[in-house]
Amino acid sequence: MALSLFSKLGKSIKPYKNILCCISQNGASGRHMTNYCLDPSIGLSEEEAEIQSMALNFAENELAPNMQKWDADATFPVDVIKQSAQLGFGALYVDEKYGGTGLNRLATSVVFEALATGCVSTTAYITIHNMVTWMVSQFGSEDQKEKLLPQLIAMDKLSSYCLTEPGSGSDAAALITSAVKKGDHYILNGSKAFISGAGTTDIYLVMVRTGDPGPKGISSILVEKGTPGLNFGKNESKLGWKNQPTSIVNFEDCAVPVTNRIGLEGIGFNIAMAGLNGGRLNISSTSLGAAQKCFELTKEHMSVRKTFGKALNEHQYLQFKMAEMATKVMSSRLMVREAARRLDEKHPASPAMCAMAKLHATDNCFEVCNQALQMYGGYGYLNDYPIQQFVRDVRVNQILEGTNEIMRLLIARNCLKM
């Protein structure tokens, strides 16, 4: 991996205090071991824990202080997002030979979990940009890599991923946005729905139909902002992810050079599915970060809030609730990290394991956040407290990157060999 790169880049922003690893006077690193069962560094290597520490400190210093204001004002924090690229967060799992950070999927999950403790919505966008950047690095031509990757890695250009349509979400292979080849261009017509960053971002990776119905008729094309025929709907008013612009992306006789196609014609669906396996781990990791943060906030609240003459944490019922919450966080973390390891080794069961991890983590971590709100009582319902925002922001994780009903279908097909 790329700890040396992280160490070098970390100094370019500000010195971040290392809270999970300790560095001895002679420069040798050693793990700081605790007996706290929810320590998120448990099981990590020295290098992974260093990377986690840097991400946690970025979350604490740059994201958390602004999270609620960004939500209230619907502010897309482009400057802070681009600042994260200085730490290598713009291309976490892109190979170092292209200028990426070169992390594996496990370390990537660790980073996204840590960042989400500061702001789920902002971290979720960063995961999307990472997925697009990785797709270009994996499936793009050498010319595309040379032209686009430096800008995407540095986040000089931000990206959006366009798969879902108004009439096709879970049934992605049924998409109808068309790309008809005319000479050296494709003419795009159709619409994409729920696109994060739409209207603000610079590059759109679009799944289009270039052939017959079904998955084999789908191709992947890059469309740059400002292309004639590309336009955007209104910014959607959402329950969560309010600091992230989301809208319809429309293509009306939008002419795009054939050279903008990613990979061969007809492999777009395969590209989409390859991206979604990792995407499911990425989004699950943001749920993990939110649940961990909500647990910590609730633990602190319970130590100071008193009812019936004693602190909340002295009530056995609430102690048991906290034990259940902690177990859900830990079991989710174990499943996500195990699926990440299997995805790294290209295990044939990794798609099903990613689906399992996504199902378990996003369901259980939402329950943890929601229970934290309940344990805050009326205070948890106030916008002055961050718990309610975590609840709103992680709810969508049970829907996107494949609904959790589709996750159950994928798991069943694998287990039953259907």
- Tens of pLDDT, residue by residue over 308-324, are 999 999 999 999 999 99
pLDDT at 4: 46
Q: Each residue of 63-82: b (16+ CB within 10 Å) or e?
A: beebbbebbeeebbbeebbb
pLDDT at 346: 95
Question: What is the distance between the alpha carbons of residues 16 and 27, in angstroms, rounded to a whole number?
Answer: 16
pLDDT at 2: 52
pLDDT beneath 70: ranges in the chain: 1-32, 418
pLDDT at 111: 98
Catalytic residue among 146, 265, 401, 405: 401
pLDDT at 294: 98
Alpha-carbon distance values, 384 to 19, 149, 315 (Å): 27, 40, 26
| CB 332 within 8 Å of CB 283 | no
Alpha-carbon distance values, 46 to 20, 57, 77, 265, 314 (Å): 10, 17, 31, 43, 36
Question: What is the distance between the alpha carbons of residues 71 and 391, in angstroms, rounded to a whole number?
Answer: 13
pLDDT at 216: 96
What does pTM read for this prediction? 0.93
Is 96 among the residues known to form the active site? no
- What residue has token string 């017509």? 189
SS3 string of the chain?
CCHHHHHHHHCCCCCCCCCCEEECCCCCEEECCCCCCCCCCCCCCHHHHHHHHHHHHHHHHHHCCCHHHHHHHCCCCHHHHHHHHCCCCCCCCCCHHHCCCCCCHHHHHHHHHHHHCCCHHHHHHHHHHHHHHHHHHHHCCHHHHHHHHHHHHCCCCCEEEECCECCECCCHHHCCCEEEEECCEEEEEEEEEEEECCCCCCEEEEEEECCCCCHHHEEEEEEECCCCCEEECCCCCCCCCCCCCEEEEEEEEEEEEHHHEECCCCCHHHHHHHHHHHHHHHHHHHHHHHHHHHHHHHHHHHHHCEECCEEHHHCHHHHHHHHHHHHHHHHHHHHHHHHHHHHHCCCCCHHHHHHHHHHHHHHHHHHHHHHHHHHHHHHHHCCCCCHHHHHHHHHHHHCCCCCHHHHHHHHHHHHHCC
> What are the pLDDT digits (tens) for 181-204?
999 999 999 999 999 999 999 999
pLDDT at 28: 33
Question: What is the distance between the alpha carbons of residues 49 and 20, in angstroms, rounded to a whole number?
Answer: 6
287's tokens: 């749920």
Question: What is the distance between the alpha carbons of residues 297 and 8, in angstroms, rounded to a whole number?
Answer: 32
| CB 211 within 8 Å of CB 261 | no
pLDDT at 32: 54
Question: What is the distance between the alpha carbons of residues 93 and 379, in angstroms, rounded to a whole number?
Answer: 39
* 215: amino acid identity, one letter: P
